Copies of this chain bind each other. A is one copy, B any other.
Amino acid sequence: MLKNDLFLRACRKEKTERTPIWIMRQAGRYLPEYRAVRAKTDFLTLCKTPELATEVTVQPVDLIGVDAAIIFSDILVIPEAMGMYLELEEKKGPVFPQPISHEDDLKRLKIPDPMKELKYVMDAVSMTKRVLDNRVPLIGFAGSPWTLLTYMVEGKGSKNFSLIKGLIYNNPALAHKFLDMLADSVILYLEAKMDAGADAVQIFDTWGGNLGYHDYMEFSLPYIEKIIDGIKHKKKPVIVFGKGVHYALKELSKSGADVVGLDWTIDIGRTREKIGKRVALQGNLDPTILYGSFDKIKQETLRVLESYGHGSGHIFNLGHGILPDIAPEKAKALVDFVKEESVRFHAEEKKSDKKQHKKKH
């Protein structure tokens, strides 16, 4: 049994003694211990070597004290396993030198068998579970089909997204074929991750916010829903995090996800009022606050805790990944502060607290 299951209980909106916290990209370049591992190997080899992936996955649990680990990997291992050649250099960003664009490209792609092409991820998951020794839960993750397709079509980072937008506007039927194939791939992948030991999964829709409402409803949300529908029989919590999708929070709360992750531009308190009955909320401190002083970090962390208010169903996190030039002691201070300060938001609520809470909204 897990020694610390706060995160899982919060996902299910069960009562907890305090607010759990983990940090997106917590196993990453801001940690000198991570950079030391990376100095010996390239990014993709790190992803593909279970011993090393396990090592960096566990680092923030030991060093920062987070309440959940998230398996070290990259969302683009799926397109690679589908048959695309991937160059993954952390600093300059991922590149697919042969991006997809035509009907013919469907033939280049297959739905990968996670126990074959992606076995290294499953090995990393089960090895990490062993090393974690039930200290905290382990999260698995995947990119949303829309976000994966954006990379596969653009081939590399883009400013205008002309290729992916050209595809969905000029050949939506083909886009849907790609997206459907991606959804199927993600389902098998996340199922296998959960079988290997992942206690919860998060779907990252990093590029969701490039779409307006109607396009999001056509090209992103249905495939997120398909994935959730395909994996719900595993009965493990599913988190959906979309960046810039302020217009789709209600829809995401009805997607079947247990938890909706919020970026830092969203008012978590008001969002709780709107959708907090259906789902737990994760987030959403501005990641750049960690450039500030310890006092500033405390002040803004408290603001997020107060905005969510009293009671269960909040998983503290940043509103996006931790930035590579953040000092690790800032991340540690954040975690410590949430652990201390959040206790009072979970104590028996006094009448006067309730009043204050109501008044604030």
Contacts and interface: CB of A to CB of B under 8 A. Distances in A.
Interface of A: 160-162, 165-166, 169-170, 209, 211-215, 244, 246-247, 264-267, 286, 288-289, 291-293, 296, 303, 319, 323-325
Contact of A215 (B165, B247, B286, B293): B286
- Identical chains bound together, number: 2
Contacts of A289: 165, 169
Contact of A291 (B162, B213, B288): B162
A325 B288 contact: no
Contact of A244 (B213, B244, B293): B244
A294 to B, nearest CB: 11
27 contacts: A160-B288, A160-B324, A160-B325, A162-B288, A162-B291, A162-B323, A165-B286, A165-B289, A165-B291, A165-B292, A169-B288, A169-B291, A169-B293, A169-B296, A170-B291, A170-B293, A170-B296, A209-B265, A212-B286, A212-B319, A213-B265, A213-B267, A214-B303, A215-B286, A244-B244, A244-B265, A246-B265
A166 B286 contact: no
**Residue among A162, A212, A246, A303 with most chain B CB within 10 A:** A212
A319 B288 CA distance: 26
B288 A266 contact: no
